[in-house]
Amino acid sequence: AALVRAVGPAGLRTPHTGIMEYADGVARIPTAAIPTEDADRLQRLQDRGVETVLRLRMQARSLPQAPSANVVGEIPGREKPEEIVLIGCHFDSWDVGTGASDDAVGCIVTWEALRLIKKTGLQPRRTIRLVLWTSEENGIHGGAAYLKAHAGKASKHVLALESDSGIFEPASIGLSGPDAARAVMTRVMTLLAPLGLDKLGPGGGGADIGPIASAGGVPTMSYNGDSTKYFTIHHTPADTIDRIAKAEVSKAAAAIAVIAYVTADMPARLPR
């Protein structure tokens, strides 16, 4: 068997679940994650030379694949509907909790962003497409299926933004792309000054948008919640809706709506 130290900080003594991958031809031994506090205790015992014996009782199992689907909605562009600004999240989650932060709230804020744009009655120059991806947690199958369906149009994607890092304050927004794209989006971010999000950081992206972005050379962005708060409950029974603040949801949705609309309505597409 193999034990893995939980990825989150100490504090709740909650182990983080996740997926285990086995190479072909390798025996599939049991694996489990243990809380940070217990991992530290085992380390202290080992440091003192104490022989430790563990007994594992596990009920986890891998089930066969089953059919699923991505959920897609969009506002068609008025001039260049074939060019797409993509926003989204994944709607699957691990069964130990309710998946409120990973990634139900990502679905809420991206869906709300599209609704806000629709409510204004404004139709952007390019299409804004929302995708709620399936099966991210056990293999990014939704992202792969999206690429398969749109492989011939990968280069038509102007920007891809994912919300899959929680929305806990203090939040930030990151971008991965060429300097020319960063220069443009840095100006766009000034519109978010009232929200305190006018600084553009590095490292934008996401697992689900990864396949289409890589295929099309698409600049990527992400809405990033405070990582310490996020990973405290990430993939644990503590990931419940009571930890999500309404004000944080509204702020994230507004920021994503501004980024999506402005990028979709610019006269020239975002450089790549």
Q: What's residue 240's pLDDT?
A: 95
71-75 and 157-165 as β-strands: parallel, antiparallel, unpaired? unpaired
Q: Tokens in use for 39?
A: 């991992």
* Identified catalytic residue from 83, 112, 136, 248: 136
pTM: 0.94
At residue 264, does pLDDT exceed 90? yes
Q: Is 90 exceeded by the pLDDT of residue 12?
A: no
Torsion region of 74: left, alpha or beta (phi above 0 gives left; psi -120 to 50 gives alpha): beta
Could you read off the pLDDT of 158-178 as tens digits, one per residue? 999 999 999 999 999 999 999
pLDDT of res. 71: 98
Burial class (CB in 10 A: 0-12, 13-18, 19+), 190: exposed
d(CA 239, CA 267): 42
pLDDT in tens, 86-118: 999 999 999 998 999 999 999 999 999 999 999
- Write down the pLDDT at residue 83: 99
* Fold of the domain built from segment(s) 71-265: Aminopeptidase (3.40.630)
pLDDT score of 10: 82
Provide the pLDDT for residue 15: 87
Residue ranges covered by each domain of the chain: 2-47, 71-265
83 is catalytic: no
